[in-house]
Structures are given as C-alpha cells and as structure tokens.
Structure 1
Amino acid sequence: MSFTLTTWNINSVRLRIELVAKFLKAQRPDVLCLQETKCPDDAFPAKRFKRLGYEHIALNGQKGYHGVAVISKIPFLATDIRTFCDNIDSRHISVSLQTGAADPPLLLHNFYVPAGGDIPDPEANPKFKHKLSFLDEMRACAPLHPSGDARHILVGDLNVAPHEHDVWSHKQLLKVVSHTPVECDKLLAVQAAGNWVDVARERIPLSEKIYTWWSYRAADWTIGDRGRRLDHIWVSEALRARVTDFKILRDARSWERPSDHVPVTVTMEL
C-alpha cells in the first residue's frame, strides 16, 4: 500500500483549523502529525477532523503551550506518551498502526523538542539547558533505538537545523539557538543512536539548501529566503528503501495567517 504522512508545526490548531482543513482536502495524507497545537485535549477540534475523514486522533495537549497530536485515517493499535526531563509539558506522543495484515506494526513517534530560548548558554538560560537535556534523553531512550525489521518513524519539530545548508547562513547562525554546534551534535547523536535515516538528506544532497521554517520577524519571508530546516522525518533502516517521495510545501508559508512552519510530507510503499 502507498502510505503518506505529513508533519506540521501548526502554531495553534484552533487558530489555524481552516488552513489545516484546506491542506487535508487538497493533499489527503493518511496521517497528519501536528506540533504546537496549544490546545487542551478537551478543546481539540476533533469533530472537524472526523468530518474530513480522519476518525482516529491521539492527543497530548495543554492550554496555550506546546502540544502534539496524531490525526489518522488508519486505526491505532496503541498509543503512548513519554515525558522527558521530568516535565509534563506535552512534547511527545506515539502510536502504532497496522498497515498490512502480514506486516509488523508501524510505530510512529511525534515530537516537539524545546525551542531553547534566545541565549545559547545553559548556565545563563534554563530553556537552553532544558533543550540540551531533552536531546540527551532522546539519545538514551531505548524505544527510540529501532533494530532489525522494526518499522519505525520519528517526526516533528525537532527545533535543530543540524547541517550547514539547513540554514540560510551557516556562519551567521553558529551562535544562534537551533544551529549552535552543541545542538547540532546532540541531534545527530540522537539520529546515530537509533540508526535513523533522515529522509530529507537521504533524498536531497547536503550541498543543497532546505528550509521548513521562516521567522515571523521578517516582513516578507521570501526576501532573502532566510529559513531553517527545523522539521524532520526520520525512518528506521527497515523503511529506508520504502520511501518513494518527499515534499516540503513552501507555498503554505504565504497562506493567510500562516504558521511559521510548513507541512513536510513523506510517501512510502509499505
């Protein structure tokens, strides 16, 4: 079967539900993973998603901040929520899906990694210290170490642009949170510990620029194209050869009242 999954930091699902509906009507992914839903579970617009054909919804939300959700056409076999750094701050949810009778389940992790504030010094900035600790815990987390024929996917706003051409200016952003060497090293260590395949960089050479986020601070995001690749899709080795397509919907950044992130989509033959 062809399986399509999208990850999108929506920056308030209730504020941007019309944009999400527009995207789902046009693209129809099997699964949509959202971050920064900024919505308690009992206020999530589940009925709207169900009317769009997405009957299965897994939530880990809170009022006004953070929050992750998985919206799916495919039923869930199980759901799970993990906490990191002893904080109950709605940054992870996982679901398992049965995509074929003879296949092992597909396990999907959806993350919203802490942004880390503005000062790249863990002693001066508790938010940056939290981010580094969160990445360390991800690296050490046994469920994030798929092996053998395990069919795992890890997606989300990981809030790190780890490679030189994942940012508009490597030199100018080396001391800017999201592209400091310590963050890049820690995110790449998470990837290496789980033997994850970074789908974007598997399909697009490291020499090419890729962005998924453009700051609201720019009056016109297209001028200078000063983006960063903060949103990621990783797959386990067992799924590497199954990937058939990868897309970043840059145009979504120009929609009315957009998120500062855009949808990122992978297609696989399972």
Structure 2
Amino acid sequence: MTFSLATWNINSVRLREALVLKLLDQECPDVLCLQECKSPVDKMPLEAFAAAGYNHVVARGQKGYNGVAILSKIPMQEAGSHDFASLGHARHIAGKLENGATIHNFYVPAGGDVADRKVNEKFGQKLDYLTEMRDWFRDNRPEKSILVGDLNIAPREDDVWDHKKLLKVVSHTPIEVAHFAETQAAGGWVDVTRQDIPDGRLYSWWSYRAKDWDGADKGRRLDHIWASSDISQSAHSSRVLRSVRGWEKPSDHAPVFASFDL
C-alpha cells in the first residue's frame, strides 16, 4: 500500500480550519498530522474534516495551547500517548494504520528564549522531554513506525539560515542538537526528508516577526518526518510545501510531506 503523509504545526486548528480544509482539498494526503491545535478534542472541527474524507482521527487536546491530532482517510486505531517529562501537556499521540504502520505525532516543547535551564525552566523541560523520548525509544525499539511533528530543533547547519548566528539561539544550540541526535539514534530513526533531499538549505518555519518572510528567508527546519530503519527505504517523494506559509493568515510553519510504500 502506498500512502502519503503530511505534518503541519497549524497554530490553532479552529482558527485555521479553512486552511486545513484547503490543504486537504489541494494536496489530498492520506494522513495529516497536526500540532499546536490549541483546542480540546471536542472543540476541534472534526466533522468538517470527516466531510472532507478524513473519518479516522486520534487526538489529544488542551484549551488554548499544545494539542496533537492525526487525521486519516485510511482506517486507523489509537496506539497510545505518553506524557514525556510529566508536563501534563498534550504533546504526543500515536495511531496504527490498517497496514500495521504506527505513526507517532509529536510536539516537542519550544524551550523558551534563553538556552540555559538554570534561568529558563522551559529550556530544561525541553531537554528533559527529549531525554525521556530517547529512553523510551531505547527501551521500546520502534518497528514499522513513522515519527513526525514539530520537534522544535533544526539539527543541521543547512537547516537554518545562518548556522553561526543561531548557535546560541534556542532550536539550534549544540546541547539541543546533541539531545536530538541521541533521541534519533536510540530509536534507529532515519530522517526521511534528508534521505530524499540530502543537500541544500531547507526550512519549514519562518517567524511572524519578518515583514517579508519570503524575501528575507530566515527560516529553520523544525518539522520532521522520521521512519524506523526497517521501513526507511520505503519512503520517498519528500517535500516542504513552502507556498502554504504565504496563505492568508497562515501558520508560521509550512507542511512537510512524504510518501511510503508499505
């Protein structure tokens, strides 16, 4: 079975319901994973998504912040969720497709503005979250699994607009990149996007603060699609749909796509 998958930090699913429906109509991914839904599950516009053909949903929500959801055309059952770092946040949900593939949808904490856990509690929470992800995947080695989401780290030099200038900026600091790499290695995860697009600058997020986000192009690749090593070679057709960042009243993230032959 071949299926397409997209991941997108929507920055309020209720506020941007029309944008989600536009993406579903124009791109028709079989599975769409959303982060930062900022809504309890019972307030998410799931009926509208079902009317668009996405009848299968697993989600965790919170009022006003966090929140993750997986919308699928393909039959899917919930496969659990975990509260990493015991934050009490809706940041992880997993769904299992009818072909046996498990999809993990993550929204890793952003980490605040100061890259020092001694003065910034949020940065410490981010590192702890990644550490617990690492330990969980080490103890529960994933098979036939896909991990997607806003992981809030741009790991490579060409995942940011200026490596040297961002070394002390949260999302690209060496300690975050090291935690990211340990988490990836613990699960044997393969970065599908960079497997398909190995070279060159590639971003999925551009700040709202930039008046001309497209022209300035000071982006970061914060959104990722990984596959467990046993199915990584089945992945293909990766892309970032940059144009979505230019839609009216957009999220500051663009959706990232990949397809799988499983």
TM-score of the aligned structures, taking structure 2 as reference length: 0.97
Paired position in structure 2 for 1:110: 105
Candidates 170, 181, 204, aligned match of 1:212: 204
| Structure-2 separation of matches of 1:106 and 1:182 | 32
State whether residues 145 and 193 of structure 1, in contact with CA within 8 Å, keep that contact through their aligned partners in structure 2: no
Kept after mapping to 2: 8 A contact 1:146/1:152: no
2:245 corresponds in structure 1 to 253
Per the TM alignment, residue 144 of structure 1 is displaced from its structure 2 partner at its CA by: 7.5
AA aligned to 1:200 is: T
Q: Distance in 2 between matches of 1:123 and 1:40?
A: 32
Distance 1:197 1:158 in 2: 14
Partner SS, residue 262 of structure 1: coil
Displacement of 1:241 in angstroms is 1.4
CA RMSD of aligned residues (A): 1.2
Secondary structure at the counterpart of residue 200 of structure 2: coil
Q: Which runs of 5+ in 2 are unaligned?
A: none
Identity of matched residues, % = 52
**Residues in 1 aligned to 2:137 and 2:206: alpha-carbon distance in whole angstroms:** 33
- Secondary structure of the equivalent of 1:48? helix
Alignment equivalent of 1:125, drawn from 120, 123, 129: 120
Q: 2-side partners of 1:79 and 1:172: how far apart?
A: 40
The range that moved more, 77-86 or 117-126, is: 77-86
Question: Among 153, 157, 164, which residue is 2:150 paired with?
Answer: 157
Quote the offset at 1:223 in angstroms.
Answer: 2.1
- Give the secondary-structure state (helix, strand or coil) at the position aligned to 1:170: coil
Tell me the alpha carbon deviations over residues 118-156 of structure 1, each in whole angstroms, 9 at most, x when there is no partner: 000000000001001001011001478535xx2100000
| Deviation for aligned residue 1:166 | 0.5
- Measure the CA separation in 2 of the matches of 1:234 and 1:31: 15
3-state secondary structure, aligned to 1:222:
helix
The answer for the alignment partner of 1:102 in structure 2 is none
Partner of 2:96: 96
Give the Cα separation in 2 of the matches to 1:202 and 1:118: 31
Alignment coverage as a number of residue pairs: 262
Secondary structure of residue in 2 paired with 1:259: coil
Match of 2:220 among 180, 203, 228: 228
Q: Which runs of 4+ in 1 moved over 3 A?
A: 142-147
Equivalent of residue 243 in structure 1, options 231, 235, 238: 235
